[in-house]
């Protein structure tokens, strides 16, 4: 059992509910982030897609919408609390990322958006992703880069103020590509993408972050203070923009 599985066992319905509340109240906040993943997946109608560490299904929802529902989607989650809230239109499996409970060569595309920074044995996940992909299939990973501003934000104020803390084991440039190639992937590419999470105003941004990161020990003012301490925020006529970044990695199985 991976350290991530032990952590996921602590996720309560209340904890997961706060995460889902943020995504439901402002569903377009992370739209640009999700589009970075979707563009790399090279989607086609009637494929079989697997959203790994799916959370409340944000990436799965984006894939479903992009293909107007003409897609077969499976969500993998190691948290029962998340399994319980995922949409019934998806096939949902509770499973460790180290031993994914699906057959070999099951999916055309596999995506994992901000889902592996709690996975200690990442190599085990990469091996499983390779196993469950069909030949010609594509894997896309987007996650927090070690020592980046989001990493500092998550492992400092979020760790301090959230209900069960946050001890992220973030990915490193080049290391992911090296390990993916070791397990058999080819055409591996990496790129850090810089974008914004977008909100109509500051109160919306603060409430969203407080709920998304389950910062239950913090007041709204404390959340406001740490956001501006750790992350760039800009404003214009369109609203408030929280600057974020992830390392996106794309790989193919041939």
Give the pair of three-digit tokens for residue 36.
């970075």
Alpha helices in the chain (DSSP H): 3-8, 13-25, 31-41, 58-66, 80-85, 122-132, 149-153, 159-161, 175-183, 202-212, 220-230
Percent of the residues in the chain that have a pLDDT greater than 90, as a whole number: 100
**Residues whose CB falls within 8 Å of the CB of residue 237, separated by 6 or more in sequence, listed in order:** none
The pLDDT tens digits for 169-181 are 999 999 999 999 9
In whole angstroms, give the CA distance from residue 196 to residue 252.
28
The pLDDT tens digits for 196-210 are 999 999 999 999 999
**Residues whose CB falls within 8 Å of the CB of residue 63, separated by 6 or more in sequence, listed in order:** 38, 41, 43, 49, 51, 71, 73, 109, 111
- CA dihedral (227, 230, 231, 237) positive or negative: positive
Neighbours of 217 (CB within 10 A): 10
Give the pair of three-digit tokens for residue 118.
């709690």
- CA dihedral (141, 146, 151, 155) positive or negative: positive
219 pLDDT tier (thresholds 50, 70, 90): very high
In whole angstroms, give the CA distance from residue 175 to residue 178.
5
CATH of range 3-143+170-200+233-252; options 3.40.50.150, 3.30.70.260, 3.40.50.300, 3.30.365.10: 3.40.50.150
Q: What is the biggest distance separating any 2 CA atoms in the chain, rounded to whole angstroms?
A: 51
The pLDDT tens digits for 12-64 are 999 999 999 999 999 999 999 999 999 999 999 999 999 999 999 999 999 99
């Amino acid at each position: 059992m991976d350290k991530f599985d032990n952590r996921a066992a602590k996720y309560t319905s209340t904890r997961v509910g706060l995460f889902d509340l943020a995504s439901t109240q402002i569903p377009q906040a992370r739209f640009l982030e999700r589009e970075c993943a979707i563009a790399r997946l090279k989607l086609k109608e009637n494929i079989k897609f697997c959203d790994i560490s799916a959370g409340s299904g944000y990436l799965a929802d984006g894939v479903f919408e992009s293909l107007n529902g003409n897609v077969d989607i499976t969500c993998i989650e190691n948290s029962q609390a998340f399994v319980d809230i995922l949409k019934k239109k998806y096939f949902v499996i509770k499973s460790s990322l180290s031993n994914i409970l699906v057959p070999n060569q099951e999916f055309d595309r596999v995506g994992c958006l901000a889902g592996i920074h709690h996975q200690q044995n990442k190599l085990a996940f990469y091996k499983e992703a390779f196993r469950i992909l069909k030949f010609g299939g594509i894997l896309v990973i987007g996650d927090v880069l070690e020592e980046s501003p989001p990493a500092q934000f998550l492992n400092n104020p979020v760790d301090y103020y959230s209900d069960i803390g946050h001890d992220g084991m973030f990915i490193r440039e080049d290391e992911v590509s090296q390990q993916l190639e070791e397990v058999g992937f080819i055409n591996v590419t990496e790129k850090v993408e810089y974008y914004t999470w977008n909100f109509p105003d500051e109160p919306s941004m603060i409430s969203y972050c407080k709920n998304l990161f389950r910062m239950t020990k913090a007041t709204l003012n404390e959340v406001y203070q740490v956001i501006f301490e750790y992350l760039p925020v800009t404003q214009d006529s369109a609203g408030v923009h929280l600057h974020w970044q992830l390392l996106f990695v794309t790989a193919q199985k041939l």
